[in-house]
Structure formats: C-alpha cells, structure tokens
Amino acid sequence: MNVFIPTEIRAHERRVAATPETVKKMVTAGFTVTVQAGCGERAYVADSEYVTAGAVVVNDAKAGYEGAQVVLKINAPQALDKGHEVDYLQKDSILICALVPNAELDLIGHLVTRQVSCFSTNLIPRITIAQKMDTLSSQANIAGYKAVIKAADHIGKYFPLLMTAAGTIHPSRVVVLGAGVAGLQAIATARRLGAQVEAFDVRAAVKEQVESLGAKFIEVEPDEDMEDAGGYAKQASAAYLERQRQEISRRVAASDIAITTALVPGRKAPILITTEMVKSMRNGSVIVDLAVEQGGNCELTEPGIHVKEGVTIIGDPNIASDVSVHASQVFARNLWNFMDHIRKDGSLEIDLEEPITDGSLLTHEGQVRHQPTRELIEQGGKA
C-alpha cells in the first residue's frame, strides 16, 4: 500500500502527520511512502530527511493523492480555493486523521459519497492497549503546557514568589478548570513556574492527581455520578451547575490567570466563566480557553486574542501546533502505532470485529459506521 502525507493547509497549522522516524517504520513494514514537498517544513523537517528515511517526495498534493491507498493527516480535509481535499481522495482509500465528527457533518457526507474509509483518531476507544494511539491525549498534554506559557507572555506579573531588595513580589494565582490531560499539564507547568494553583474538575476522582502536583483542589458537592464508562465527564445537573458556578465565580475573581479545558465529547463546551465573572477579574488578568473549538468555556471567548472587560482572553483553536516539533513527533507516533495495530503484510486490514478498528472507523463502504454520528446526521445535526 502506498501511504501519502500531504502538507496541512488549515490556517496556522505547523504540524505534520509523519516524521522521518515513522516513515522509516512504515517502509520497514512494507509500505511505500510518498510525502508532499515541504510538508514538514513548519515542523523543521527537511524533504531530504524524508528521502533518507525511504520516502518519495512529490511536488503537489494532487499527484500524491492519485497514487495513495492510505492518507495520513493531522486535520480533517479542508476546502480549497476550487473544490475540496476530499475530491483528491481515491475511491476505497483509507484516511486517518483527527476529524471531530460532530463538527464536520457535511464533510462526513462527502467522505461517504467518495466511499472513503475514514478513521478518526478522536474516536479511538479509551482502553489500555490504545493509549499509544491516543492523539487526543498527546496533543492535549502539549496544549496544557503551551496554555501556561501563553498566559505568562500576556500577564503583567511574575509567576513565582520573589524576595528582592525592592520588596516582596507575590506569586501569581492560577485557576485551572478541568483536570484532564491538558489541565494536569497546565497545573504542573504553572507550578514549575512558581505560581499558586487551584484546580477544579467535576470528577472528584482527580483530586489526588491535582494535589500530587502541588495544587489545591476546588471541591463542589457532586452529583451521584459525574463520570461515564469511558472516563469522560458527564453532563451535570442544574443544581450542581449552580453550586459550581458560585464556587468558580469566587475563585476566578481572585485569580490572575484562568485556564479552561473542560469538554464533553460530542457537545458544545460547557460555559464555566460567564461575562459577570470576567467583569469581576482584575484588569490585566488573562484567560486561556482551550475549549474554543467547541464554543469555549468562557462566555466571551472568540478565536484569537481579545481584550474584554480589561481581561485578555486567548482562544487559540490549534494551540498544540505552536509546539510543532514535539507535537508532530508524538502525533506521528500515535498514527504509526494505530497503523501497526491494524496492519497485515504491508496492508491495513479493516476488521470490523476488532474493537479499536470498529470504534474509530467513522465511514466505510459508503456508510457512516459511527452510530452517534449517524444519529446526529439523521437529527439534522442537532446534538
């Protein structure tokens, strides 16, 4: 099978879906690999490095797609000036990328029409054997780190406590809302920089993890069960949300920096920081909203960097891309590990009885196989 890696065309994207390391593994496993010229340039990978690893370089995407049975991408296919990247995909080819199903329903219909077998890494089951394939976690880890660095760039304060001849500098106060992979990395990074950190999550089970990183866990009396079978946060009750709102409001008002990471799969991100909360923050405070792509956890978040009510609100929908070298390395390894799991004799085998294959297969043989996405399409796209 010929594997093709195109240049990502999404705005501000700097990552690449394969590195010389993973290209070499693919070639050793019996695949032929083609890369588009310059595809790794923004991740500081030269075309010559891909050639050394065993890949063939083609000048344009169309030529690469024409001979490809497998296409590896970071993002879902994008619209072009004329047409769409999906139009380049060959019938019965396999696409592996981090497509967000509920945000790309029209695109999914296009994939079905083209009879493309699309695996979304966002749908890979959260089971132990699949951890090494989990692009959501690998990129969230980077996003949590970079969120703190961006906050440090925009706050007019030191992070650590400093005792100076001119007096004491008090440490910045950081509140992290959502203690999943991104939130825990944000906590760890803020603590390494010397900030005082508090963190909140609807899952009481993460309290020990938060405290092990040196942060204080914000406790709100929970509903009976706040976590689903996959380990994700569930939709909360109205009573719980009110208790949560009151406690978070108090903590946000006292903070210098708020970092929000709360997501519920397949739904709009929950609003955790209201306009009134933003108004309660001191001038010069910073909010970094990592949920911006799903609507944002802050009511005032928009893509980009904006100052509202005296608060700098950062809504970067692709923050992991700013760490393009390491983000590409781990994403590429995730993709290779997935390919390695389903490969057989230099080909990718679609075994519908195998749980990782079946769980992540979004479209196949002209049908939407992922049931929640199929139901969403049937409902007219309304979650």
Report the catalytic residues.
126, 131, 134, 137, 232
What lies within 8 Å, CB to CB, of 234 at 6+ separation is 202, 225, 226, 227, 228, 264
C-alpha dist (Å) from residue 214 to 188, 191, 208, 211: 8, 7, 10, 5
Question: Among candidates 143, 185, 157, 99, which has minimal Cα distance to 315?
Answer: 143
Q: Which long-range contacts (CB under 8 A, 24 or more apart) does 103-111 make?
A: 103/293, 103/294, 104/76, 105/373, 105/376, 105/377, 105/381, 107/76, 107/77, 108/362, 108/363, 108/368, 108/373, 108/377, 109/377, 110/84, 110/86, 111/77, 111/86, 111/362, 111/363
Tell me how far apart the alpha carbons of residues 198 and 227 are, in angstroms, rounded to a whole number. 21
State the DSSP code for 222: P
- Structure-block tokens of residue 372: 């929640």
C-alpha to C-alpha distance for 331 and 350, rounded to whole angstroms: 21
The amino acid at 292 = V
